[in-house]
Amino acid sequence: ASKFKQLSPAEFFYNNRSMAGFDNASRAAYTVVRELIENSLDACDVYGIPPVLYISIKTLLGDDMEILVADNGIGVPRRHMADAFGRVFFGSKYYVKQNRGTFGLGGKMAILYGQLTTGEPVDVRTSVGKDIAHMLLNIDVSENEPVIVRREDERNPGSFHGTSIRLRFKGDMVSARSRILKYLRMSRIALPYSTIVYSDPEGFFFFAPALTEQQPKPPKEAPPHPYGVDIVKIKEMIESSKRGTPLNKFLMKFSRVGVDTSQKFAEYLGLDPSLQVKRLGEPEIKRIAEGFRSYRFLPPDGSSLSPLGPETIRTGLQAEYSPEYIVVETRPPSAYEGFAFVIEAAIAYGGSIPPATGQDEARLLRFANKIPLIYDSSNDVAMKVILEDVDWRNYSLDPKNDPLIFLTHVVASKVPFKTAGKEYVADREEVRREIRLAFRECARQLKVYLSRKTYQLHEHQR
Amino acid sequence: ASKFKQLSPAEFFYNNRSMAGFDNASRAAYTVVRELIENSLDACDVYGIPPVLYISIKTLLGDDMEILVADNGIGVPRRHMADAFGRVFFGSKYYVKQNRGTFGLGGKMAILYGQLTTGEPVDVRTSVGKDIAHMLLNIDVSENEPVIVRREDERNPGSFHGTSIRLRFKGDMVSARSRILKYLRMSRIALPYSTIVYSDPEGFFFFAPALTEQQPKPPKEAPPHPYGVDIVKIKEMIESSKRGTPLNKFLMKFSRVGVDTSQKFAEYLGLDPSLQVKRLGEPEIKRIAEGFRSYRFLPPDGSSLSPLGPETIRTGLQAEYSPEYIVVETRPPSAYEGFAFVIEAAIAYGGSIPPATGQDEARLLRFANKIPLIYDSSNDVAMKVILEDVDWRNYSLDPKNDPLIFLTHVVASKVPFKTAGKEYVADREEVRREIRLAFRECARQLKVYLSRKTYQLHEHQR
Ligand SMILES: Nc1ncnc2c1ncn2[C@@H]1O[C@H](COP(=O)(O)OP(=O)(O)OP(=O)(O)O)[C@@H](O)[C@H]1O
Ligand SMILES: Nc1ncnc2c1ncn2[C@@H]1O[C@H](COP(=O)(O)OP(=O)(O)OP(=O)(O)O)[C@@H](O)[C@H]1O
Ligand SMILES: [Mg+2]
Ligand SMILES: [Mg+2]
């Protein structure tokens, strides 16, 4: 007879921690560091606070490490603190807004990994500006709840706001270190406005903003765009609408659907705009979902998103590679499943960039919502575009042999990550198409530059 | 202010369906078919029932497809039926036993995908041999519960046992078809004892067992092996032990730990074997976890696992490729995180196998618990072993140019999949090491064969 059971979310990811980036001791160490840094960055720049982060990793006796990550972010309200750090699928980033975090999982996985390798509880201090809440906690895996081992409040005379988290874990820092440093170097491109101090048993890494650096506008919460919104989501939105809401009012909950558009769209569907949405039947709801795919709505409004911008990308690539030439392309906003997204792409050529050795796939720097992606590049949708979708010979370019560095940044109110460890972006049609168009435009501009340069060289030689 | 929220497991995978293999319309169609087939196969061969499966995919009006999968498996008990098909993280495969299923998610994702693309409920009939339970159901995503749209019982005069599931969905079957057929062809290697009838809008695929085919022994539930069991799992096992359980009795819950070994291990830890486990403190529990990594226990007992066996692998490779020579290696059982596993590996050479074209990574057929893995091979731990861990020149072999086909089968009470869509196996140290040893042995045997063949050729030419 089969034994049926209900698993808790914590138990699922405890059982399947490879999915969340804890495949082995080296990748686990990297993921612990990444998840804590991204939580701190979200607590800052998503709220318009210039980030200041301190990260220190020490070796303790035996092979335990201790990581401390401290930030000047908005902090966690005391009533949510234990759940924020101790309950899987609990978080503040489930709204339609650009964040690094998206799953309500990462911080908990780091804490759980520390707990399963050392038995030690995590030590968290956080404040929104009032008293500092200080807790030691563990995660009860089968119940998916925090277990508060100790709690105390501390005075906060300076009204400091921010969070500091201290975690013990066992991991292979020696082999993770080069990737952590690569993550930090790539972060210099993505975060010219932040201060990050990192120290580990082998040394230091530090960067701080230029005095002229402008804090980018924080992302805003955005209503879903109609394109790609499916039947399940439509029904959920109908469920949460007030009783008596007419169809035209309901349609105006979507991004870029105003009075006119909602009227026209209702006519397009052959539905009366004054129909109460809570009274719509299955066939009408289906018709709306199909209309959401076929009707030409105004494109999404990119103002809710916070891209890097061409200036930042150029500055970063220049500093890192001293190329001879850089092309940057920012696509207009697009959408999938109702989520707005923007693709930024760049190609850097020549200068101090060495020729590719012919065996690399292509040298590609990948970012998603400002997170540097380092693992599993061959599966990333951007690499598939470079290797399969663009015929580089049309532009006299060879990604595997020329001195080229490629860069992509997927900016979205929800990035379609393929793994819970955020290793790479899934092969989503709408995203792949936008990356393809961006790289073709970059390639075209680079070809123009190179042929002009060749022409000038010939002119010069006469 | 941040808006905190608790997400249901269904909501998490609805939001992040790329992780579960629903990246785009083509992959989604493949995953629907795969998840339903694997549920049917588990319901049969894990219970010693020779599988008979019928799979039919029809196009309906518009671009809806309808899939029907019917099996002669053990069926689902009526009291669990709605949850089995309607509640994420509910399933019967969470025990330490080899199954294709492992997450309590796949069937629900297929059903949810049908629901979000067509709005239609799934239609399931199942029986354990008594009345046939028949339900139409949807999934309430925010609550993670089934919504039974209609239910009725039907007479079962023949005491039939089995399940049939009918699902409507939109997907790109045209582009998924070749991969589904590849999955079925690879299944012929893994399932010589089963009958599978498949029909889709383009045609048929059918295989049936040879009359002499022996049903392999079904896998057995196994206690965890101590190697790699961590602090969290030890505490859970202590929690579920009876009050007053002494340490030596507790240790004997682990695979291959008998009276002698538990005594010796307790002494190795410097702990009194009669200590009550529920009274052990943090330091003692830590010491046990560390001992579980360092002490030389007897290796896992492979009898709970159900591998393919060298005969089956040879027969399958011979039928598919008509090679000149096949080497098969089965590693002795090993363990990670307490889970026993066995690696089967094979290399087929020459005959009708064409030379590799120099641009493929390596032609590798991958199986995990008899599931054919088709996507994302470059990230799979087995591909990493072939491309990074084995120096093929030592064996005068070139995977990228010679007429070689590689095969791996990871057989485990829990396969460390990297994705919820089971696309590839994670880079787990213990698994990587075993695959490496298996392929080195295969390479060594193939080299012996080829040098003997060369020698005989020279002898002949004199
Ligand atoms: N340093 C921090 N400062 C402020 N809030 C934090 C901090 N770290 C965690 N949090 C809060 O705890 C919540 C849970 O964090 P966790 O990393 O588990 O999930 P997430 O960041 O929402 O998503 P993801 O799993 O994608 O990282 C966050 O949503 C945030 O509200
Ligand atoms: N055809 C079937 N015959 C018998 N039982 C079934 C069948 N399909 C599903 N079930 C039952 O429903 C449960 C849930 O199936 P589901 O596919 O969601 O998860 P799983 O198979 O346990 O794990 P995974 O997510 O890895 O596939 C199974 O554990 C099994 O008990
Ligand atoms: Mg996070
Ligand atoms: Mg299943």
Q: The domain that contains A37 carries what CATH number?
A: 3.30.565.10
| Listed residue (A84, A67, A69) closest to A133, CA to CA | A84
Would you state the structure tokens that stand for residue B451, as one six-digit string?
């040098």
Nearest alpha carbon to residue B54 among B71, B38, B77, B78: B71
Cβ neighbours, 10 Å, residue B368: 24
CA A109 to chain centre: 17
CA distance B154 to B166: 17
Distances (CA, A) of A436 to A346, A382, A384, A389: 12, 8, 9, 7
**Residue A68 tokens, joined:** 């401390």
The pLDDT value given to residue B462: 72
Out of A34, A36, A42, give the residue to mutate to test ligand 1, the one with the largest number of ligand atoms within 8 Å of its CB: A42
Q: Could you tell me if residue B192 is inside a domain?
A: yes
B131: which 2 tokens? 């009345």
Contact (CB<8Å) B119/A8: no
Q: For residue A228, which phi and psi values (nearest 5 degrees)?
A: 85, 0
Asked if the model's pLDDT at residue B216 lies above 90, the reply is: no
Whole-number pLDDT of residue B217: 87
Q: CA torsion sign, A357 to A360 to A361 to A366?
A: negative
Q: Mutation test of the interface with chain A: which of B7, B8, B103, B172, choosing the one with the most A Cβ atoms within 10 A?
A: B7
Q: Which of B9, B15, B379 sits opposite A379 (nearest CB)?
A: B379
**Is the pLDDT reported for residue B359 higher than 90?**
no
Structure confidence at residue A199 as a pLDDT band (50, 70, 90): very high
Three-state SS at B336:
strand
Q: Does one domain contain both A178 and A79? A: yes
With cut-offs at 50, 70 and 90, classify the pLDDT of residue B118: very high
Ligand nearest to the CA of A73: 1
Residue A386, pLDDT > 70, answer: yes
**Over residues A150-165, mean pLDDT:** 96
CB contact under 8 A, B115 and A378: no
Residue A149 CA to residue A159 CA, distance in Å, equals 26
Residue B1 has a pLDDT of: 66
Please identify which residue in the block is written with the tokens 């066939």: A283
Chain B nearest C-alpha distance from A449 (Å)? 31
Question: Does residue A375 fall inside a structural domain?
Answer: yes
Amino acid code (one letter) for A153? D
- On whether both B275 and B404 belong to a single domain, the answer is no
Range of the domain at A448: 309-461
Which CATH number is A343's domain given?
A: 3.30.230.10
By C-alpha distance, which of A91, A109, A115 is closest to A101?
Answer: A91
Please tell me the distance between residue B80's alpha carbon and the centre of ligand 2 in angstroms.
11
Same domain for B269 and B320: no
**Tokens at residue B146, please?**
């089934």
B215 within some domain: no
CATH number at residue A253: 1.10.8.50
Q: Is residue A141 part of a domain?
A: yes
In angstroms, the CA B134 to CA B122 distance is 11
Which among B18, B91, B286 has the least Cβ separation from residue A426?
A: B18
Q: Do B429 and A24 touch (CB under 8 A)?
A: yes
Evaluate the CA torsion angle A39, A45, A47, A53 in order and state its sign: positive
Question: What residues have a C-beta under 5 A from ligand 3, the ion?
Answer: A 39, 101, 106-107
Q: In this structure, is residue B98 part of a structural domain?
A: yes
- Provide the 8-state DSSP code for A8: P
- Radius of gyration in angstroms for the set of CA atoms belonging to chain B, rounded to a whole number: 24
Sign of CA dihedral B141, B143, B149, B151: positive
Which of A263, A294, A325 is the last residue before a domain boundary? A294
A294 Cβ partners below 8 Å, 6+ apart? none
> Do residues B171 and B244 share a domain?
no
The pLDDT assigned to B57 comes to 98
> Which pLDDT score, from 0 to 100, does residue B156 have?
96
Q: Kindly state whether residue A302 falls inside one of the protein's structural domains.
A: no
pLDDT digits (tens, 9 = 90+) for B293-325: 999 999 998 888 999 999 999 999 999 999 999
Q: Domain for residue B173, yes or no?
A: yes
Give the Cα separation of A418 and B415 in Å (integer): 19
Question: Mean pLDDT score of chain B, rounded to an integer?
Answer: 95
d(CA B106, CA B110): 6
| pLDDT at residue A316 tops 90 | yes
pLDDT in tens, A31-51: 999 999 999 999 999 999 999
Q: List the single residue in B with minimal CA-CA distance to A119.
A: B231
Q: Are residues A136 and A252 in the same domain?
A: no
Q: Which of A2, A12, A92 sits opposite B4 (nearest CB)?
A: A92
Residue A154 sits in the same domain as residue A75: yes
Mean of all residue pLDDT scores within chain A: 95
* pLDDT category of residue B461 using cuts at 50, 70 and 90: confident
| Average pLDDT over every residue of B215-225 | 90
Closest CA to A366 of A446, A445, A435: A435
B418/chain A closest Cα distance in angstroms: 5
Q: Does residue A240 share a domain with residue A200? A: no
d(CA B94, CA B108): 16
Q: For B36, list phi and psi in degrees, rounded to 5.
A: -70, -40
B327/B438 same-domain check: yes
Using a 10 angstrom Cβ sphere, with 0-12 exposed, 13-18 middle and 19 or more buried, the burial of residue A293 is exposed
> Within an 8 Å CB–CB cutoff, is residue A181 touching chain B?
no
- If you average pLDDT over residues B91-107, what whole number do you get? 96
β-partners of residue A64 are A170
Domains in chain B: how many in total? 3
Residue whose Cα lies nearest atom 28 of ligand 2: it is B91
**Site from A6, A221, A285, A424 to mutate, B interface, most B CB atoms within 10 angstroms:** A6
Asked if pLDDT for residue A356 goes beyond 90, the answer is: no
**Residue A22: pLDDT over 70:** yes
- Confidence class of residue A1 from pLDDT cuts 50, 70 and 90? low
Q: Answer yes or no: do A166 and A268 share one domain.
A: no
Same domain, B59 and B148: yes
Q: How far is B103 from chain A (nearest CA, A)?
A: 7
8 Å CB contact between A243 and A278: yes
Are A393 and A417 found together in one domain?
A: yes
Last residue within a domain, chosen from A294, A318, A345: A294
Query: Does B429 touch chain A if contact means CB atoms closer than 8 Å?
Result: yes
One domain for residues A201 and A245: no
In angstroms, the separation between the Cα of residue A138 and the nearest Cα of chain B is: 10
B 280-299 residues inside an 8 A Cβ radius of A: 282, 285-286, 289
Q: What is the dihedral of CA A285, A290, A291, A294, to 10 degrees?
A: 170
Rounded average pLDDT over B348-364: 88
Whether residue A100 is contained in a domain is answered as yes
